[in-house]
Structure 1
Amino acid sequence: MGHDHSRPTAAAPPRVRRVLIATVVPLFLVTLVAALVLWPRDAPSVGGGEDAARYHGTVTRVVTEPCPPTPEAPEGTTEGPCGTATVTVDTGPDAGQQVETALPAGPGSPRVEVGDEIVLVVLTDPADPTVSSYSIAAHQRGKPLIWLALAFAVAIVAFGRWRGLAALGGLAASFAILLTFVLPGIGAGESPLPVAVTGAALIMFVVLYLTHGVTAQTSVAVLGTLASLVLTGLLGSLATAFTHLTGYGSEDATTLSMFQADVDLHGLLLAGIIIGSLGVLDDVTVTQAATVTELARANPDLTRLQLYRAATRVGRAHIASTVNTIVLAYAGASLPLLLLLTADTRGISEIVTSEFLAQEIVRSIVATLGLIAAVPITTGLAALVTTAGRGGTPSRRPPRPAGGRDDALAALSGPRAATGATDSAAGPGRPGNTDPAW
């Protein structure tokens, strides 16, 4: 929702408001009932064993040394860095004490320096449970994330003011619905597709009305978004069935199936398509509804068909750029996968048709088709609502007085030879000059 349409819109006629209320309110009630039916009540806890105790600490000293050769490592390579780090424990039973631990090594291990705030884990010796030691697990990221979040919120509010504050409220509501309904519902074994559609509808109602206000224009965007979401779900079901996708196309999905065998990964793939499409869908629908409103305000003589055609041209330009946005967003999130493809020795046709790449292609195509459908759906609804007060006929401006037009034509076509040089010498407002006085 990157467009600010804060300019107040004209009030819709009472008949139009009644029709919108009779349409939107039942849909909202159906969404609430579906959420209550699908709400997770007995979400299972995923048991992955007892986690090691974690405490915070600060690195006070780092000593590096050459790594000893290992027979497993190729010649000329090391798994460094090697050495020790002295850490002051900040929390836990040993708070205030200094402990010495080996520097973390291996791919993905944190690189620590003096002054770094890190997370320590307590490891127990399996042979002797009474013996334990500290190990560096990761950097503390709480404070940096808080500062980044504050900078994000300040920038949004400073630029958007009250509208920016409402957008932050909508963002918080979106995360709340995802964390309290969508994810626990799927984790509890519910079918991911209805949970995702219901959660996306809840997010849409809250975010759009909170951010853009309870207006006829927002209601049109809500209806267009909801219709496009349902269509995206249907297209996703057909596309994944047509391409025989199972949902096991990523390592994350395979790992999830090991911890929660009852999760429908095929449905989870469809749910991801719907949730991922929502953020771009509401941007397109709000823009199309606002475009029709502004066109009708700028030229009240436009008919319903003219409004639809003009706003659709704007929608085509928007979709042309949004398609690139979707593809690049998926490509950015899958850069490790794309790099892996460049090192693959299989043929290009075999790589493209493999499950882990085919599902990304299907995801992009289905999301794009949903966006394309959102333009005519929302634009048509907005044109109907905007022109409902005048029944689709143009509103004529009052005619101009005929005398003023005739006088102007006579002044322009009259003979100027008789005035001679008097015209050139006369100033504005003087006899012989038709220019008005300043």
Structure 2
Amino acid sequence: MGAGHSHTGHGGIDPTPRALAARRKANWILAAVLVPLTLLTVVAMVLLWPSGSKDGLKLSSPYAAAPGVSFDTGTIQRVVVGPCMDGAAQADGQAAPAPEQAPQAGQAPPAPGAGQGSQCTFAYTDPDKGGNPVKVVINPDVAKSHGVKAGDGIRYLNLSQTQGAAAQGTPSYVFVDFVRTLPIILLAVLYAVVVIAVARWRGLRALIGLLGAYAVLVSFMLPGLVEGKPPLLLALVGSTVIMIGVLYFAHGFTARTSTALLGTMFGLGITAVLAAWATDAANLAGVGSHDAATLANVSDHISISGIILCGLIISGLGVLNDVTITQSSAVWELWELAPGTSRRKLFASAMRIGRDHIASTVYTIAFAYAGAALPVLIIVMLYERPLGDALTSAELSEEVIRTLVGSIGLVLAIPVTTLIAVLVVKATGLRGAALPADDGGSVHDGAAADHASDGGTGAAPDGDGSGPAPESRRGRRAELRR
């Protein structure tokens, strides 16, 4: 029997026609489910595709400058504190204030209202476009919470060309924001380098897939919400397109990836159903949010509750993708280490990994939302409201429901993904495939093959020829090398 079969170039065992047929059957089953779903998603995306028209929108950009006004950038040279009216009288090229106006090193700036009149913070700034330094008045909240210092890049409103600005007591240059281009670019480059260095080509494909996901979000989902498309369908279709693209692009067209995609779609469906129910049952209307109030006045087609519903679904995409692809990969790795494992035992082993993943992922979601909502949490704490009232308030209820909905969807996706992966891997796994029959017509598993390759007879230890051959040391080493 030992010479009756051949080995592949990678050290694996050639599958029998029966094993190949099982593999083809499993792949056809996956294709029969995923191909119609993909086609349906593409058709729905075409039907829901927004026109891109912005007719009827009443929102004007806050960065659209009026005639004679411009947004300029520059670098702060030094910071001084002085009477607020000095900002209106200061013009380009004027002399700097007397040294006594500038705070000494280690000395706190004068408190607002100290001395004659209110005190303001001014930043003498070199414009990036060239010219004399200008005196930019810094917003009180920025000066108090973060402050500015020499070397900071800022963006400011240039009112110097507006007639009558100084005469009306309006500062000629007003702080708008910091310039953050360089640190963000550095972090983005570092992130890309780390991902590619660790994950190599798969990491590069994941980054490209991330860009594609944002393209779907910006070109399809956001304009669709503005035009009043059904938010539930919009979120489901857009999320499914994103997951199909990023999973196959990053991990390849394999049964392992298809299994993870099926689990992801199941989790998306559960999340969508729960999000639709929770948005209506909890009356999530975005009340109290400045951004929601702004959008509500922009167009009659925009639904704030619909935006919240769409956000509940999108927010769990990344974590859902993480748990499904990891769980699918875990099943494959466990199977390759022990190809003779039964379905029940393989499922139980993979679920032990899944339970650990569930615990850590729930923490990830909860802490991520808590970190994003820290200012709101601090305000609620200072109000000294009862915990139940705080968690169900308009300020926190959306974050609480987002955490619960996303967690339920990903937790239920883990056992479903594991079950699908176990069924598929038992049908497609080549390393556990049956070997060609020997002279007696019996079929042996991978352990028998290892025994045969050592020169054994292939007989079972009890001599009846029906049980698996004992696993040899060489066979174990060969299995580990695979």
TM-score, length-scaled by structure 2: 0.72
1:82 is the counterpart of 2:120: yes
CA distance in 2: counterparts of 1:83 and 1:373, whole angstroms:
55
| Partner of residue 363 from structure 1, selected from 398, 402, 406 | 402
CA change 1:66–1:381 in 2 (3 A) is same
Deviation digits for residues 307-353 of structure 1 (CA, Å, limit 9, x no counterpart)? 22221121111101111111111111110111011111443333232
Report the equivalent of 1:329: 368
Please give the residue correspondences for 1:25-44 in structure 2 after superposition, counting only pairs within 5 Å.
Answer: 25-44=35-54
CA change 1:277–1:101 in 2 (3 A) is same
CA distance in 1: counterparts of 2:350 and 2:182, whole angstroms:
46
CA change 1:347–1:401 in 2 (3 A) is same
1:365 is displaced (CA, Å) by 1.2
Report the equivalent of 2:173: 134
Deviation digits for residues 61-105 of structure 1 (CA, Å, limit 9, x no counterpart)? 43333679xxxxxxx9527862543333223xxxx2114324313
1:258 is displaced (CA, Å) by 2.8
Please give the residue correspondences for 1:180-199 in structure 2 after superposition, counting only pairs within 5 Å.
Answer: 180-199=219-238
Stretch deviating more after TM superposition (20-29 or 57-66):
57-66
Secondary structure of the corresponding residue to residue 40 of structure 1: coil
1:20 is the counterpart of 2:30: yes
Structure 1 residue ranges without an equivalent (≥5): 1-7, 69-75, 407-438
CA distance in 1: counterparts of 2:283 and 2:25, whole angstroms:
48
CA distance in 1: counterparts of 2:458 and 2:255, whole angstroms:
39
CA distance in 2: counterparts of 1:172 and 1:81, whole angstroms:
47
Q: How much is the aligned-residue C-alpha RMSD, in angstroms?
A: 3.2
| Partner of residue 146 from structure 1, selected from 174, 180, 185 | 185
1:249 is displaced (CA, Å) by 5.7
Assess if the C-alpha contact under 8 Å between 1:247 and 1:268 holds in 2. no
Stretch deviating more after TM superposition (39-48 or 28-37):
39-48
1:240 is displaced (CA, Å) by 2.8
Assess if the C-alpha contact under 8 Å between 2:52 and 2:223 holds in 1. no
1:101 is the counterpart of 2:135: yes
Report the equivalent of 1:119: 155
CA change 1:358–1:403 in 2 (3 A) is closer
CA distance in 1: counterparts of 2:188 and 2:317, whole angstroms:
22
CA distance in 2: counterparts of 1:60 and 1:324, whole angstroms:
44
* Larger RCO: 1 or 2 (CA < 8 Å, sep 6+): 2
1:405 is displaced (CA, Å) by 7.3
Secondary structure of the corresponding residue to residue 387 of structure 1: helix
Please give the residue correspondences for 1:25-424 in structure 2 after superposition, counting only pairs within 5 Å.
Answer: 25-44=35-54, 47-48=59-60, 51-52=64-65, 53-65=70-82, 77-78=111-112, 82-91=120-129, 96-108=130-142, 111-123=147-159, 128=164, 133-248=172-287, 250-389=289-428, 396=445, 397-398=447-448
Secondary structure of the corresponding residue to residue 142 of structure 2: coil
CA change 1:114–1:321 in 2 (3 A) is closer
CA distance in 2: counterparts of 1:84 and 1:206, whole angstroms:
50
CA distance in 2: counterparts of 1:299 and 1:49, whole angstroms:
61
1:123 is displaced (CA, Å) by 2.9
Code of the aligned partner of 1:304: R
1:385 is displaced (CA, Å) by 0.8
Stretch deviating more after TM superposition (396-405 or 225-234):
396-405
CA distance in 1: counterparts of 2:288 and 2:352, whole angstroms:
38
Code of the aligned partner of 2:233: P
CA change 1:278–1:83 in 2 (3 A) is closer
CA change 1:368–1:98 in 2 (3 A) is same
Secondary structure of the corresponding residue to residue 52 of structure 2: coil
Deviation digits for residues 86-134 of structure 1 (CA, Å, limit 9, x no counterpart)? 333223xxxx211432431311357333333221212379874898933
Deviation digits for residues 175-232 of structure 1 (CA, Å, limit 9, x no counterpart)? 1111111112112221222111111111101111111111000001011101110111
CA distance in 2: counterparts of 1:83 and 1:77, whole angstroms:
11
Code of the aligned partner of 1:85: A
CA distance in 2: counterparts of 1:221 and 1:39, whole angstroms:
27
Percent identity between matched residues is: 38
CA change 1:296–1:404 in 2 (3 A) is closer
Assess if the C-alpha contact under 8 Å between 1:81 and 1:105 holds in 2. no
1:262 is displaced (CA, Å) by 2.7
Code of the aligned partner of 1:20: L
CA distance in 2: counterparts of 1:86 and 1:405, whole angstroms:
89
Code of the aligned partner of 1:374: A
CA distance in 2: counterparts of 1:83 and 1:368, whole angstroms:
46
Secondary structure of the corresponding residue to residue 98 of structure 1: coil
Structure 2 residue ranges without an equivalent (≥5): 1-11, 86-109, 435-443, 463-482
CA change 1:314–1:62 in 2 (3 A) is closer
1:272 is displaced (CA, Å) by 1.0
Code of the aligned partner of 1:366: V
CA distance in 1: counterparts of 2:120 and 2:28, whole angstroms:
73
